[in-house]
Structures are given as C-alpha cells and as structure tokens.
C-alpha cells in the first residue's frame, strides 16, 4: 500500500477516555507505513490544558484552543492547518461533533483542487437513553438529528460503527446502509501476551473516569451490604472533584472499605492494576462499547456490569460475566456475594476462561485488517 498522509481528529488527545485510547493505538499502527497526524482540542479533561504540540513515537499531535463548547461537543478551528497539510485520509471521531463540518468542507475544497481524499466518521455510540442528558442538550440533539444527521452521515465515505447495537439507529437517522462499516474498539496485544500478575483475593476494582455517568454510588451501596471481611474496593481513575467528594462522603456514611487511586496511563501499570483484582465492576448508567470491560475480560477477570447497551454486547450473563439492572445495588450486592463465595470457585473459573475467549476478536491486529481494506 502506497504511503499516505492520515489525519485523525478527536475531542481530547490525552487522558484515559475510550476515544483517545482508540485513536492513539490505531495511529501507532498506521504510522508504521504512513505519516500520521492527530488534531484535537488543547484540553486534557474538563478544565486542564495540555501543550499545543507533541510527538508520540512517529505520531505528530497538534492541539487547538476551544472556541465554544456544549458538554463534550467542542469546537476548535483546524481548517486552515488541515488545508495546508493536505491529508489523503481523515478519520473523524465522534458523531454530532461541531468539527465534522470542517472535515466535510475540507474534502470539498481539496477535491476542487484535484486532490483525492477519503473521509471516515467513527461514531463512538453517542446514543444515550432518555433522561441521561439535561433537557436543553436533549432538545439540541433532537434538532441536530432531525435537520442535520442524514446530510452529515452521508457526506462521509464510510461511517464506522463501534457497536452492532447502534447500526439500526444510524439507519433510522438516514445513513445509507452501504456506508456503514462495523469496526469495534480494540485493545493492544499486551492484554493477551503479558504474564499474569498477583491477584488479591476479594479485591473489587473500578477503573475509569470517576464521574456521574459511571454511577459509582451504586457500587459503594452494593458493597455496604456485604457482610464479608474478605473484600476490598478500589476505585481508580481521573475524577470530577465535586463528584469524588460526594462519593467519599457516601463511603464514610455507609462504612465501606474503599481506596480511591489516581489514574494510571502507562499500559504495563494498567495491566498490573487489573491483574490485582479478583472482580472488575462497571456500574455505569450508559456505555457505548466499554474498553475497560474488554481489557478486564482479556485478563481473565470476573466482570460485573450494569446492563447497558455496550455491556450487553460483550457479556452473556452467567457465562462470561454478570449483568445487573442499572442502579440496582441490591442485585449487584447479591452478585458480589456469589463471586466472593469460595464455594463457587469452579463456576467462576469457567466464567473467567469464557471471558478471555470471548474477547479475542478485539485484538488490535484483527481489527486493523478491516481498517487497511478501507485505506486502500
């Protein structure tokens, strides 16, 4: 395949979000045979800023100031620099993002000048259930979908769905069927190759962003009902400070043994942290396709998740993990009791084996084969 200039565009180019993880890992593979750039905002999270330019291995990262924002919909102007860059391929991450219009304009402008360019949209499953957005944002989303979704989606050469469950939604929004390609999120080969670390019996781990959508009060309340001396709870990740204080207050009131740990970004440290737990818990209100679940399953952990759309795509309840009703801490507590009971060790061992087998298709090398077909 001829060497190409690839431009990836996303909200944030740092942190531990699933979007950034995907962008970085696939860019590392692309950069072996292509020139790869990443354009993003200069925000690391809600407030913290990061430097305007960085190089990771062969990947060049350019960050731009945010002009305006509505939640995670950030507008930053990269049009002029992208026009100078003249990419062969643009991969834009996130449906309903303000910067998608710039990508479409770039394609039209460059093609007028005789430059062939392909543009792809990776959706990242932003289709939330009712009640998870405030009323104003919900109204804006409805208007966007009614007036713009069909035109935006069909302006891209391909629309890449990261989950199977969102494909019917994309079709309903008017996306042409032949444009949709299923390429799920991936995890590095290290999750399958690294030697297993020491597992601490009874440790329950949450690993991810500590914010309200993760619904961690459900996990804390579930643990408060455990009359079991053999458990410990570890919550690790970057935190929304106000929410973190609320959780700490809840742990004091409920007398739960919990340790809040700072985020880990290095891959080996992340794997070591996952290996240290016996049970991996994700009590979120919603998930598109949670990488944290795939990672934990690849490390042969007992995974317990709320029955979000993303989790249901990965977990077959009682066979390779466990599902519970969103927000139902009583049900979660009963599952935790079952998993902590040593009498159930044989059944749990089988669940761990099934978990690892069921996510082997999410290896980065397998998924990149699909991408390479699009890039030709």
**pLDDT digit string, tens, across residues 234-259:** 999 989 899 999 999 999 999 898 99
pLDDT band at 21 (very low <50, low <70, confident <90, very high): confident
Give the number of other CB atoms < 10 A from CB of residue 210. Answer: 19
Q: Give residue 129's pLDDT.
A: 64
Region 211-240 average pLDDT = 92
pLDDT band at 128 (very low <50, low <70, confident <90, very high): low
pLDDT band at 321 (very low <50, low <70, confident <90, very high): very high
Q: Give residue 284's pLDDT.
A: 97
- Is the pLDDT at 68 greater than 90? The verdict is no
Q: Give residue 139's pLDDT.
A: 86
Return the percentage of the chain with pLDDT > 70, whole number: 96
Q: Which position has the higher pLDDT, 79 or 141?
A: 79
pLDDT band at 186 (very low <50, low <70, confident <90, very high): confident
- Is the pLDDT at 279 greater than 90? The verdict is yes
- Is the pLDDT at 192 greater than 70? The verdict is yes
User: What would the pLDDT profile of 324-353 be if each residue is shown by its tens digit?
Assistant: 999 999 999 999 999 999 899 999 999 999
User: What would the pLDDT profile of 101-125 be if each residue is shown by its tens digit?
Assistant: 999 999 999 999 999 999 999 999 8
Question: What is the distance between the alpha carbons of residues 16 and 238, in angstroms, rounded to a whole number?
Answer: 8
- pTM listed for this prediction: 0.87
Q: Which two tokens stand for residue 16?
A: 């531990």
Lowest mean pLDDT among 132-141, 171-180, 202-211, 284-293: 132-141
Question: What is the distance between the alpha carbons of residues 259 and 261, in angstroms, rounded to a whole number?
Answer: 6
Q: Give residue 228's pLDDT.
A: 66
CB 81 within 8 A of CB 60: no
Q: Give residue 45's pLDDT.
A: 63
Region 34-52 average pLDDT = 87
User: What would the pLDDT profile of 142-165 be if each residue is shown by its tens digit?
Assistant: 888 899 999 999 999 999 999 999
- Is the pLDDT at 131 greater than 70? The verdict is no
- Is the pLDDT at 6 greater than 70? The verdict is yes
Question: In angstroms, how far is the first alpha carbon of the chain from the final one?
Answer: 7
Region 41-54 average pLDDT = 84
Q: Give residue 1's pLDDT.
A: 60
Question: What is the distance between the alpha carbons of residues 178 and 156, in angstroms, rounded to a whole number?
Answer: 12
- Is the pLDDT at 181 greater than 90? The verdict is yes
- Is the pLDDT at 47 greater than 80? The verdict is no
pLDDT band at 366 (very low <50, low <70, confident <90, very high): confident
Question: What is the distance between the alpha carbons of residues 212 and 242, in angstroms, rounded to a whole number?
Answer: 10
In terms of Cα–Cα distance, which of 16, 26, 2, 5 is closest to 366?
A: 26
pLDDT band at 376 (very low <50, low <70, confident <90, very high): confident
- Is the pLDDT at 91 greater than 90? The verdict is yes
- Is the pLDDT at 272 greater than 80? The verdict is yes
- Is the pLDDT at 15 greater than 90? The verdict is no
Map out the domains of the chain with their CATH numbers. 5-187+362-375 (3.40.50.2000), 190-358 (3.40.50.2000)
Q: Give residue 363's pLDDT.
A: 85
In terms of Cα–Cα distance, which of 24, 23, 161, 35 is closest to 88?
A: 35
Q: What is the mean pLDDT of the chain?
A: 92
Q: Which position has the higher pLDDT, 133 or 39?
A: 39
Residue 56 vs residues 25, 31, 219: alpha-carbon distances, Å: 11, 10, 36
């Amino acid at each position: 395949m001829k060497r190409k200039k690839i431009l990836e565009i996303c909200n944030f180019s740092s942190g531990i979000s699933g979007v950034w993880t995907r962008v970085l890992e696939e860019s590392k593979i692309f950069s072996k045979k292509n020139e790869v750039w990443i354009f993003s905002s200069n925000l690391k999270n809600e407030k913290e800023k990061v430097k305007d330019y960085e190089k990771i291995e062969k990947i060049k990262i350019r960050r731009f100031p945010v002009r305006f924002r509505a939640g995670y919909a950030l507008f930053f102007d990269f049009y002029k620099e992208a026009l100078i860059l003249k990419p062969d391929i643009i991969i834009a991450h996130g449906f309903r993002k303000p910067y998608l219009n710039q990508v479409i304009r770039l394609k039209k402008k460059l093609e007028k000048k005789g430059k062939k360019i392909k543009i792809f949209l990776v959706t990242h499953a932003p289709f939330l259930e009712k009640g998870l957005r405030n009323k104003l944002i919900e109204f804006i989303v409805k208007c966007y979908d009614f007036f713009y979704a069909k035109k935006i989606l069909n302006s891209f050469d391909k629309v890449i769905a990261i989950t199977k469950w969102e494909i019917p939604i994309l079709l309903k929004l008017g996306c042409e069927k032949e444009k949709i390609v299923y390429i799920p999120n991936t995890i590095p080969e290290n999750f399958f190759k690294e030697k297993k670390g020491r597992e601490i019996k009874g440790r329950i781990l949450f690993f991810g962003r500590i914010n309200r959508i993760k619904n961690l009060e459900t996990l804390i309340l579930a643990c408060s009902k455990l009359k079991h001396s053999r458990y410990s709870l570890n919550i690790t990740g970057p935190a929304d400070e106000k929410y973190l204080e609320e959780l700490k207050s809840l742990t004091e009131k409920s007398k739960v043994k919990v340790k809040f740990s700072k985020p880990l970004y290095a891959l080996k440290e992340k794997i070591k942290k996952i290996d240290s737990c016996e049970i991996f818990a994700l009590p979120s209100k919603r998930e598109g396709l949670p990488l944290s679940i795939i990672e934990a399953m690849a490390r042969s952990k007992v995974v317990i998740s709320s029955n979000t759309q993303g989790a249901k795509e990965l977990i077959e309840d009682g066979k390779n993990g466990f599902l519970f009703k969103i927000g139902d801490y009583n049900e979660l507590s009963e599952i935790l009791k079952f998993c902590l009971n040593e009498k159930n060790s044989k059944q749990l061992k089988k669940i761990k084996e099934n978990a690892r087998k069921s996510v082997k298709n999410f290896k980065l090398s397998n998924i990149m084969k699909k991408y390479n077909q699009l890039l030709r």
